[in-house]
Structure 1
Amino acid sequence: MKIATYNVENLFDLQKSGHEYKEYIPYTKANWNDKTYKIKLKNISRVIKDINADIIALQEIESLQALKDLRYQLKRDGIYYQYYKIANLKNTTIKVAILSKIPFVYSHEISVMSSYKYRNILEAKFKLNSQYLYLLVNHWKSKAGPESMRVVSAKKLLKRIKELGKDKNIIALGDFNSHYEEYKIFKRKRKHNDTNGITGINNILGTIHNQENANKTHIKAYEFYNLWYDTKKTDRWSYIYRNKKEALDNILITKNLLDKQGIEYIPQSISAFRKEYLFKGKHIYRWQMSRQYIKRHKGKGYSDHIPVVAEFSY
């Protein structure tokens, strides 16, 4: 079973809701229209089809309509995701979603905070043979905000993990806007460090204690293991910011997925999906916009993030 996460970079529909970024208001000089929207859908569909995951977590989907349009494009391109869900109870500009070939037992949203600055977490439960798997899709506050905002999301996620119980098969994945060793990176970035060195991903979720490869690590209850530690150090990245490689997209698992019974993570199966067409030179071939005052869509490119994929058996 292949599970992936992909920040698709601003998949907005063509309906005017009043929540859009300025350059995504449809049918304006920004050139967001039927033509550019179809190209965006087709390009993102190409990536998702090539990954061919059984379950894929998505970030930066504007609406249920955008998710349905993507799903329809995927179907036309030859890959069918029968089951889908978006976290749309809150009118944030962009949201998290899931496409799945496996049916949900249930899916629901977890409200992090009532403020629109925090995106809801999307939880889905799956039944695989007689075992249950819980997937929690995250998109934490960007680096435009300080670490304290990501800590809030981490604490809410941890609270939910404790409600589910310590012996559950849980995967938390998505765009955490946090490097897998954020606690090292952000010491140099004072504007982010308003938490006295505490990070959401490392300290709150306990990944700081589990830095061996999957065969050696010993995870405690209510701690997560970051799968990036199960691949070569040079491969641990999904994003490039000012020519520096970072791993903002993460797949985290609880100890039950490493106990060699039931649902299991397959060691060394974690990878970033780095097809040649997703790059232009040394840069990720993101969705292209002109640089003039009113940004214009060029109708080229994919996303500023690279998908991350891992495999599990059951």
Structure 2
Amino acid sequence: MTTARDASWSLDALTPGDRRRVVDALRYVGRDLHHRSFSVSSDRRELLWQEMDACLQLAERLSVTVDSGAAVAPLSDSTFRPCTVITGASSGIGAALARSFAQHSEVLVLVARRQDRLDELAAELAQSAAARVVAVALDLNQPQAVDQLLGRLAANGLWVETLVNNAGFGLRGSFEASSWMQLESMLRLMVEVPTELTRLVLPEMQRRQQGTILNIASLAGLIPGLPGSTLYSAVKAYLIRLSQSLAAENSGSGIRVMALCPGYVHTEFHAVLGVEQRMQRLPGVFWMSVDQLVRWTERALQGRQVVVVPGRLNRLIAALAHYLPLPWANTLSAAFSRRFRSRP
């Protein structure tokens, strides 16, 4: 029979890595209880919330004792290999960046929903790059997706040296025309997921004093909000501000933080959005190929600039948006959106 004293001894005897797994499990249970609480009666919901609070509070107490008391940082393991993680890697900018990072990464982890696209890209990279390529078909919009992803990496002895937060999508039409399910999905994928991933991988980067966080933002986050692109502009602006704060907090730590803010890039994005025909009216000088964008990104990562706007015209647009009186900038943005983005 196990006594309380035995149980206490067993907990104290856990290695830092095992204790971290206990902490992560408690947090997982807490979040799961929270999600379950919305499908039960109000009385039952209160009980679930109490259990959720208990799990999360215990996780925080254990986390503090591990982080402050262990001689070796709890997630650090000298046998773990560094990897590069790219979300939204199955097409467009994500796939192009994957081809670039595959040339200088030991292990490249591609994350997206479409297994067939990932397998096709992984097979291509396996023939042309030295990196070991791992395809992870995962819907990051699902509640526990980030935990599942990091769990797979840990199980394979990998730590995230480079994180590319690229997953995202656009919505067409006015704000109220989109369903709450669509808006919530965008907020989850383009705000919560990159924030959660960054929060969970950053401590290990700090312990090792090396790492890169690349947030794929947009020129849309630097100019007045575009009609018909309400939430998209807002979430991209969030990624820019998040990157600036992270860069300031980690200055001199060996961690590179950058927000990439491209303008119009030839990808599937506008076709999926349903505005490709109208966007074809946009003069060619506004457009950039994904290969050009990748070259800009590679050069920029070698520098120190946090917010990077590739292309002279895009930088001019960003400067005008910054220095023009706001009413003028708003008028120009609205006129451009009506001409090239809105429904005919």
Task: Identify which of structures 1 and 2 has the higher relative contact order when contacts are C-alpha pairs closer than 8 Å and 6+ apart.
Answer: 1
User: TM-score of the superposition, structure 2-length normalised?
Assistant: 0.29
Per the normalisation by structure 1, the TM-score is: 0.31
* Structure whose residues are more often strand by fraction: 1
